[in-house]
Chain A
């Protein structure tokens, strides 16, 4: 069975602090994809990153970086120098299990990040 665990339910930091959101996944597939989505207070889901299981290179996009480690089945997300606008719920998701031409997304329960001024 596929499963995504985000152990941190809520995190609160002060602006300019670095913060890491943890994501641990389970799957029996050897090929799979991992995603991060952001849900700001307005409610929409914003796609941040997709990473396939064959690419363990870390990725950096501005203040965002992702650390993918197959050995520990983790795909952690770090925000450097956090800002108030980063306040949101962040979801990690696993795409595994063929579903007729696309892959079913299994979501973690989300981590609510609050960045205080």
Chain B
């Protein structure tokens, strides 16, 4: 079954304790992206990756890191989490193609992070 898998689904942790949210897709997609969802703000892009070893900032990258060492995995790293990073996080992937090919992005089930 084609899917994007995020782990953990829920996490409560404390300020400053490094954490990693994993994301894996089994569709051989080149493009992967992380979003955060906050009440009243919708979803905003944190980072994206167009292929292995190629990553770039989205709209709200501060306080986050990512890596793309393998095509299927795109972990989100919070080196020193703070309470303002409490949010619902989504990983997404899609095929790439020519400009304006615009394949739908497939989303994981989300990770709810609470930073105390």
Q: Once the chains are docked, how many angstroms separate the CA of A37 from the CA of B109?
A: 13
- Are A107 and B106 in contact, CB atoms less than 8 angstroms apart? no
- Are B102 and A99 in contact, CB atoms less than 8 angstroms apart? no
- Are A101 and B30 in contact, CB atoms less than 8 angstroms apart? yes
A interface, size bucket:
20 to 34
CB < 8 Å: which of B30, B42, B50, B88 contacts A107? B42
- Are A104 and B40 in contact, CB atoms less than 8 angstroms apart? no
A75-117 interface with B by 8 A CB criterion: 91, 93, 95, 98-105, 107-110
Q: Once the chains are docked, how many angstroms separate the CA of A116 from the CA of B42?
A: 24
Tell whether A43 pairs with B88 under 8 Å between CB atoms, given A50-B102, A52-B102. Answer: yes
With both chains docked as a complex, state the minimum distance between the C-beta of B76 and any C-beta of chain A, in angstroms: 16
- Are B45 and A104 in contact, CB atoms less than 8 angstroms apart? yes
- Are B42 and A110 in contact, CB atoms less than 8 angstroms apart? yes
Q: Once the chains are docked, how many angstroms separate the CA of A32 from the CA of B101?
A: 9
Q: Mark B17-36, 1 if CB is under 8 A from A, else 0.
A: 00000000000001101010
With both chains docked as a complex, state the minimum distance between the C-beta of B31 and any C-beta of chain A, in angstroms: 4
- Are B107 and A31 in contact, CB atoms less than 8 angstroms apart? no
- Is A45 located at the chain interface by the 8 A CB criterion? yes
- Is B94 located at the chain interface by the 8 A CB criterion? yes
Which residues on the B side are within 8 Å of A50 (C-beta)? Answer: 102, 104
Q: Mark A30-69, 1 if CB is under 8 A from B, else 0.
A: 0111010100000111010010100000000000000000
Residues of A within 8 A of B (CB): 31-33, 35, 37, 43-45, 47, 50, 52, 91, 93, 95, 98-105, 107-110
Residues of B within 8 A of A (CB): 30-31, 33, 35, 40-45, 48, 50-51, 54, 56, 58, 88, 90, 92, 94-97, 99-110, 112
Known A43-B88, A102-B50, A107-B42; 13 more pairs at CB < 8 Å: A35-B104, A43-B109, A91-B43, A100-B50, A100-B54, A101-B31, A101-B51, A102-B97, A102-B101, A103-B100, A105-B43, A107-B43, A108-B42
Closest 3 CB pairs of A and B: A101-B96, A100-B50, A102-B31
